[in-house]
Amino acid sequence: MLIKQIPIRNSLRNYMYLLACENTLEAIAIDPLDHEVCLKTAEKLGWKIKIVANTHHHHDHIGGNAPVIAATQAELVAHAEAIQAIPGINRGLSAGESLECGELVLKVMDTPGHTMSHICLYFAGNSDEKPALFCGDTLFNAGVGRCDFGGEPKTLYKTFADQIFPLADDVRIYPGHDYIENNLEFTLDREPSNKSALSLREQFKNGLDAESFVSDIGLEREINVFFRLGEQKVRSGIAAMINIDIDDLDDRQTFIELRGLRDNW
């Protein structure tokens, strides 16, 4: 699979993606908000956009659909239950289905929580390439999506517990926004001596480019506080905050309280 990660550099720091089959150069555009840059990039690479895929219905993800489709006649796909919310969907996708483009195959994951109709697209990898997850606003580098624009924290926790936490460490992460530097600060607020987060923050200060940085699930387990629900420091901080005994706190409630805390942080 050929991957082009494109930072949009708007105030929300969206990423859009072009994924192409290396044999046919047919491509999927994921959440192509900046249609001009998307089309120009595809043209420069010689990729033919056949499919536009939206991870969810928020405007900063679907806002470029119409002009990209007008220019390419691409098929528009999104979560089957987002059909009301996203104009012009040609095909609704459900969990476990394959999304194919040329010889490229992605598996559809149904990942509610940020919104209630949100998909992630999973590339299983092969002998030359590690797996990859295009995760929209479900999972960010060092963070998770917020739930106060049509989502639900307890549903997001279930998505993580059932589908994200079990992923292999070598799955590369391609999120819908570049929020890593702020998110690292939140992890360090909860866990000030987290060595991996401290070291990565230092690397960004020394010029590591956040826009082209790609993490994986193994690194997220170290730097993303939402993956570290059982850590003593994380859990005791939450227990003290909501004034309950640490033994009465479980992963689910820790996750939900962290999400609430991050909303106003």
Site residues (CB under 5 A) for Zn ion? 58, 137
In the complex, the smallest distance separating the C-beta of residue 32 from Zn ion, rounded to whole angstroms, is: 15
Q: Supply the minimum distance, in Å, between the C-beta of residue 58 and Zn ion.
A: 3
User: Which of 183, 194 has the CB closer to Zn ion?
Assistant: 183
Q: How many beta carbons lie within 10 A of that of residue 55, not counting itself?
A: 29
CB of 234 to Zn ion, least distance (A): 25
Q: Which is nearer to Zn ion, 65 or 194 (CB)?
A: 65
Q: Smaller CB distance to Zn ion: residue 81 or 137?
A: 137
Nearer to Zn ion, 50 or 58 (CB): 58
Considering the complex, state which of residue 72 and residue 117 has its C-beta at the smaller distance from Zn ion: 117
Beta-strand relationship, 48-53 and 26-30: parallel
Report angle CA 16, 23, 124 to the nearest 5 degrees.
60
Residue type, 178: D
* Least gap, CB of 190 to Zn ion (angstroms): 23
How far is the C-alpha of 219 from the C-alpha of 172, rounded, in Å? 10
Residue 134 forms beta bridges with which residues? 121, 174
Q: How many Å apart are CA 97 and CA 177, to the nearest integer? A: 25
Angle at 177 between CA 172 and CA 179, to 5 degrees: 95
> Closest separation between CB of residue 156 and Zn ion, Å?
12
Q: Work out the angle between the directed axes of helices 232-242 and 251-263 (0-180°, nearest 10).
A: 70
Distance, CA of 104 to CA of 98 (rounded, Å): 10
Q: CB of 145: closest distance to Zn ion in angstroms?
A: 6
CB-based closest residue to Zn ion: 58
Distance separating alpha carbons of residues 131 and 109, to the nearest angstrom: 14
CB nearer to Zn ion: pick between 58 and 79 = 58
3-state secondary structure of 122: strand
